[in-house]
Amino acid sequence: MEAVLAIAIGILVASGVWLLLRPRTFQVIIGLALLSYGVNLFIFAMGRPRTNAAPLLDKSGVVDPSLYADPVPQALVLTAIVISFATTALFLVVMIALRGLTGTDHVDGKEPDR
Amino acid sequence: MTQGPDHILIAPILIPLVAGALMLFYGEAQRRVIAVLSTLGLVVVALELVDMATHSATSVGLYLLGDWPPPFAIVLVLDRLSALMVLLTSILALSAVVFAMARWDRRGQHFHSLFQFLLMGLNGAFLTGDLFNLFVFFEVLLAASYGLVLHGSGTLRVRAGLHYIAINLAASLLFLIGVSLIYGVTGTLNMADLAVRVPLVAAENRPLLAAGAAILGIAFLVKAAMWPLCFWLPITYTAAPPPAAAVFAILSKVGVYVLLRVSSLAFGSAAAQMTGLGAEVLLWGGLATLVFGTVGVLASQGLGRLAGCSVLVSSGTLLAIVGISGLGGGSTMVAAALFYLVASTIAISALFLMVELIERGESELAGILTVTAEAYGLGDEEIEEEDLRVVSGPGIPRATTVLGMCFFTCALVLAGVPPLAGFLGKFAMLSAVLSFGGFDGGTDIPTVGIVFTAVVIVSGLAALIALVREGIRTFWAAENEELPSVPLIELVPVIVLLSLTLAMTVKAGPVMHYMEATATSLHHPYVYVRGVLGAVPLPEAAVGGEPVPEVAE
């Protein structure tokens, strides 16, 4: 599982970084989205992922924490998903506004001189 | 702090949140009233917080959100440094809100709401004692700042805003990577707990922790605009509407604040092998920023960009000092740097407010002078403000004279020329750096000290030259003698801000004393760590299974 997770994070982040450095706003926003997926998986991985373990303790007295998954990274991921979703939506609006104002989808608002 | 929770601690976060949401239900006029009341309330609360922090020298103010015993949930922590930053924020906010009432808040939608949410994010970032909560407040303040950069619209703003948002989204992702790496290695996000656990990290995990801290640091350095992560700053701050830019002056200080906080807690003298992590980077990066900012100040055509580059100069100086102090430089220079931070932030904020007042009166001829701004891609599409000369409210006579005096005062503070606060801050920093006997405890002045001194003095000179040039062009060589009438409501905030730097000069003794106490407590984070972790009796069996380790040091 670790290998699959690591490869997935690697591919997402690599494609995200590449797209982020492209000159078109649409590529930038897709890059940011992919990067945030990669980062979310990365946070999740930092909680030592394991199968068949619940992140929630039950109330039946003393519990053995080693039988449970770490709930903190999962909470962090939830927060990060919400925030990156909202900021990406905001970025989308600004991107469309720039497209409307300048008539081009280049990140600098004008086509490079050739 | 053994008695019940001090609810005033959360007030700097709640007041703007409630005010910002509440004003959505009201019309334009009531919104202004709410905004002014809220920021006035913030100033009062911040003064009270500073008073609390001063009078409890042996403990920190603590607010347990959810009432979990630390380090298991989010805590708000009040010490001298956070109280100082909250006070500075609220003062800048009040002047910016009053300034905005003259015309800027009508330029677009929801200026005051966005502004209140920005304040909520800023205050939260200063007060929180938890790394992930810091991320959340960072996002709150960033989201609000995106809206404020775009306030008033226009191609230049939207383009600068797009770059600003893209860079900050990328930086936020780095922040998340850094935080999760640190969590993965140490198992905690509480800053005080981090201070305890970092020395206990096993040797084979230290590189991972260092990598996490470095990635986290880059996120803060983007905010603090260290070279080469700073190219977005001058354009964004120039494009932002002036009242927003005036508060953005403290946005870059958030980065400096967090670096100071985290490096002193997690990588201070108690951190064993991890002491001074990244301090060299901060030092040389800070110096590079200082040089870049200086060149930028000299090359600026137009006050807006000059003010933007002054932010870089201020940031660079502070980062270099944080670096030297992290290398073992002692707390005296940090105290001086804090003094300089307050003085320069207030002056830059005032300058951003003045930029628009001054340039409003500029004619076509002045426009030709700024034609070189096209080199930065600014000139071809200047922000179009049709009703720029429409003045609301009573104007004041002799506006040029008053504005000129303000500009002169501001220039003195920014350039660090005697006798004002900027000089005192710079002098104290240089004196501390030069009297510090080298990293190995020798008596010779280290090369770093000499380089730092030279760069700071040259940057002061450059700032003086650039500001005097601007002053002559605006106030002496202007072909129309009088600037258009300036409404009182726009001039008063500028005067108040500059009077504060004057007050800092007159009351330099007490202020410096406060800064010294702040720097000492930063240098010995024992009080902070003990204050947070010892807030309630520690639980017998921690949920994590392992007992909470004793405070090192």
C-alpha dist (Å) from residue B179 to B184, B211, B217, B361: 9, 11, 10, 48
Burial class, B367, CB count within 10 angstroms (exposed 0-12 / middle 13-18 / buried 19+): middle
CA B93 – CA B36 distance, rounded (Å): 9
Q: Is residue B419 reached through a cis peptide bond, with omega within 30 degrees of 0 on the bond before it?
A: yes
* Chain B residues with beta carbon closer than 8 angstroms to that of A46: 180-181, 183-184
For tokens 């392992």, name the residue.
Answer: B546
Q: Do B176 and A87 touch (CB under 8 A)?
A: no
Q: Is residue B255 a contact partner of residue B233, using CB atoms and an 8 Å limit?
A: no
Token pair recorded at residue B494: 């500028």
pLDDT score at B543: 34
Residues of B with CB under 8 A from a CB of A: 132, 135-136, 139, 142-143, 146, 150, 153-155, 158-159, 161-163, 165-166, 169-170, 172-173, 176-177, 179-181, 183-184, 189, 377, 543-545
The count of residues in chain A is 114
- Among A76-90, B379-393, B424-438, B524-538, top mean pLDDT goes to A76-90
Partners of residue B190 on adjacent β-strands: B130
Q: Which residue of A has its CA nearest to B137?
A: A83
Q: What type of residue is B61?
A: G
Q: How many CB pairs under 8 A join A and B?
A: 94
Q: How far is CA B180 from the centre of its chain?
A: 25
CA B214 – CA B361 distance, rounded (Å): 46
CATH of the domain at A38: 1.10.287
Q: Which of B333, B285, B294 is nearest to B312 (CA)?
A: B294
Angstroms from A107 CA to nearest CA on chain B: 8
CA B46 – CA B211 distance, rounded (Å): 36
Q: Do A84 and B183 touch (CB under 8 A)?
A: no
Q: What is the pLDDT of residues B193-223, one digit of tens each?
A: 888 888 888 888 888 888 998 999 999 999 8
Quote the Cα angle for B60-B66-B67, to 5°: 55
User: What confidence tier does A35 reach under pLDDT thresholds 50, 70, 90?
Assistant: very high
User: What confidence tier does A49 reach under pLDDT thresholds 50, 70, 90?
Assistant: confident
Token pair recorded at residue B24: 């959505």
pLDDT (average), residues B368-396: 46
Q: Do A83 and B166 touch (CB under 8 A)?
A: no
Q: Is residue B104 a contact partner of residue B242, using CB atoms and an 8 Å limit?
A: yes
Token pair recorded at residue B168: 């900050």
CA dihedral A50, A51, A55, A57 (to 10 degrees): -110
Q: Where are the alpha helices (DSSP H) in B325-398?
A: 332-360, 364-369
Whether residue A108 lies inside any domain: the answer is no
Q: What type of residue is B481?
A: E
Burial class, A100, CB count within 10 angstroms (exposed 0-12 / middle 13-18 / buried 19+): exposed
Whether residue A62 lies inside any domain: the answer is no
pLDDT score at B31: 86
CA B130 – CA B365 distance, rounded (Å): 53
Whether residue A58 lies inside any domain: the answer is no
Is the pTM higher than 0.90? The answer reads no
* Chain A residues with beta carbon closer than 8 angstroms to that of B153: 97
C-alpha dist (Å) from residue B324 to B116, B339, B361: 36, 16, 44
Q: Which of B176, B222, B378 has the most A C-beta neighbours within 10 Å, making it the best mutation to test the interface with A? A: B176
Q: Which of B52, B57, B56, B61 is nearest to B87 (CA)?
A: B52
Whether residue A63 lies inside any domain: the answer is no
Q: What is the pLDDT of residues B271-317, one digit of tens each?
A: 666 777 778 888 888 999 999 999 998 888 778 888 888 999 999 99
CA B61 – CA B129 distance, rounded (Å): 11
Partners of residue B130 on adjacent β-strands: B190
Q: Where are the alpha helices (DSSP H) in B225-271?
A: 232-239, 242-266
Angstroms from A68 CA to nearest CA on chain B: 11
Domains: count for chain A: 1
pLDDT score at B542: 37
Q: Which of B496, B505, B531 is nearest to B43 (CA)?
A: B496
Token pair recorded at residue B380: 């071809």
Q: Do A98 and B159 touch (CB under 8 A)?
A: yes
* Chain A residues with beta carbon closer than 8 angstroms to that of B539: none
Q: Do A91 and B165 touch (CB under 8 A)?
A: yes
Token pair recorded at residue B60: 């920190």
DSSP state letter for B332: H
Whether residue A27 lies inside any domain: the answer is yes
Whether residue A64 lies inside any domain: the answer is no
Flag whether pLDDT at B393 surpasses 60: no
DSSP code string of B4-53: S--GGGGHHHHHHHHHHHHGGGS-HHHHHHHHHHHHHHHHHHHHHHHHHH
* Residue A35 belongs to domain spanning: 2-50+70-102
Q: What is the pLDDT of residues B35-44, one digit of tens each?
A: 889 999 999 9
DSSP state letter for B482: S
Element (H, E) at B1: none
Whether residue A55 lies inside any domain: the answer is no
Q: What type of residue is A43?
A: I
Angstroms from A39 CA to nearest CA on chain B: 6
For tokens 């009080």, name the residue.
Answer: B527
Q: What type of residue is B366?
A: A
Q: Is residue B256 a contact partner of residue B322, using CB atoms and an 8 Å limit?
A: yes
Q: Which residue of A has its CA nearest to B164?
A: A91
CA B240 – CA B84 distance, rounded (Å): 26
User: What confidence tier does A108 reach under pLDDT thresholds 50, 70, 90?
Assistant: confident
Q: Which of A83, A88, A99 has the most B C-beta neighbours within 10 Å, making it the best mutation to test the interface with B? A: A83
Establish whether this prediction's ipTM goes over 0.90.
yes
Whether residue A24 lies inside any domain: the answer is yes
